[in-house]
Structure 1
Amino acid sequence: MTADTDPTTLVKMLHLVFLSTFWGMQIWVTFISSFVMGNNLSQHTIGFIQSCLFPYYFHIGSACAFINLTIFAVCHPSELLNEEETIQITVFFICATVAALNAYWFGQLTSDIMAEMHLIEQSYGLGGDIGLFLNKSLIRLRQLDSNYKELASRLSIYHGFSSLCNLCCIACNGLSLYYMAAHLSAL
């Protein structure tokens, strides 16, 4: 991009704010709060907190990804993109797409299925154990209740896709931060 079309400092700051906001949320939710809650709260409490928190997390992340894509696209006209900028806009596009899938589909389905499973678990007096790992009672419940078994299977699939989307966004934002850092003239 030529010097006469460089974005203003305000635009650069907004781009950095939205990228760093999404990155910070991802690191906190994925690598810190999940493990803290998993080691200190019951499975149902974790599920309840996540069902309240994750829609905000996914939608704010999706908005940040879309805004980053938009800012980058406006500041880098397609006819002037070099190879590195083409990769960067592709990374922003992938991140925005995957974040939207998670916000509007995988994340919601995962929460809905988990809520149904919690109702079944509560009817059997289960779900109060602390920790993220399945206990023997929940494994037995899968054998006893075919509806619960089917829900657990669906939860595994949608939770897997949701986690994959989240990890994809983390990788995309990590690459975007690397790209930004490589283009800083000074700290």
Structure 2
Amino acid sequence: MPTDAHPSTVVKVLHLVFLSTFWGMQIWVTFISSFVMGNNLPQHTFSFIQSCLFPYYFCIGSACAFINLTIFAMCHPSKLLSHEETMQITVFFICVSIAALNAQWFGQVTSDIMAEMHLIEQSYGLGEDVGLFLNKSLGQLRELDSAYKKLTRKLKIYHSFSSLCNLCCIACNGLSLYYIAAHLSTL
């Protein structure tokens, strides 16, 4: 690190705590809990739980990313940054921006669209099947109800953008973990 004073152990621990908190949440939510709940809960229950959890997930992730950027930037004055440190600050900035975009826009719109779709599904007596890909009746509903069909298209777009933001943040945090591991002198 090019600064005269190295960050204290407390600052280093805080940086690791926030980075690992966000990373752990991402891995758990993206690759474990979503699949477990999606395959074992009725569709509407699963969606309801996600719509309650995701705002917290996105906001906590945004806060962790912002705190990591702040800590790193405070410990690395811009006039003294190496190429690697410049890349790390850029990665943190991208992560903060994308996490905030997901928290403030894509995640919320996705939940709102899903709530509208649930009302239509409930009016047809659908949505209580267990499993993400098992309900053929929803495909038939898209053909019968033009409003539902529009909402389905809109949901695919916003959900795709939200998922892309989430995967981008996972990549950013993975690069940050790599950077930290590369700078450890011992384990």
1:35 paired with 2:43, answer no
Task: Give SS of 1:5's match.
Answer: coil
Counterpart in the other structure of 2:118: 118
Cα distance in 2 between the residues matched to 1:69 and 1:129:
43
TM-score, normalization by structure 2: 0.98
Cα distance in 1 between the residues matched to 2:174 and 2:74:
21
Task: Give SS of 1:4's match.
Answer: coil
1:170 paired with 2:170, answer yes
Q: Shift of residue 134 of structure 1? A: 5.5
Task: Give SS of 2:19's match.
Answer: helix
Instruction: Trace 1:14-29 onto structure 2 (pairs within 5 A).
Output: 14-29=14-29
CA RMSD in angstroms, aligned pairs only: 0.9
- State the Cα deviation string for residues 96-135 of structure 1 (Å, max 9, x = none): 0000000000000000000010010000000011111162
- Return 5+ residue gaps in structure 1 as ranges: none
- State the Cα deviation string for residues 45-100 of structure 1 (Å, max 9, x = none): 11000010000000000000000011111111111010110110000000000000
Instruction: Trace 1:51-130 onto structure 2 (pairs within 5 A).
Output: 51-130=51-130
Q: Shift of residue 3 of structure 1? A: 6.0
Cα distance in 1 between the residues matched to 2:78 and 2:129:
54
> Percent of pairs identical after alignment?
81
2:2–2:76 Cα contact (<8 Å) kept: no
TM-score, normalization by structure 1: 0.98
Task: Give SS of 2:4's match.
Answer: helix
- Return 5+ residue gaps in structure 2 as ranges: none
Taking a change above 3 Å as real, the CA distance of residues 104 and 158 of structure 1, as seen in their structure-2 partners, is same
Q: Which moved more, 1:3-12 or 1:23-32?
A: 3-12
Q: Which amino acid aligns with 1:108?
A: Q
Q: Shift of residue 2 of structure 1? A: 3.1
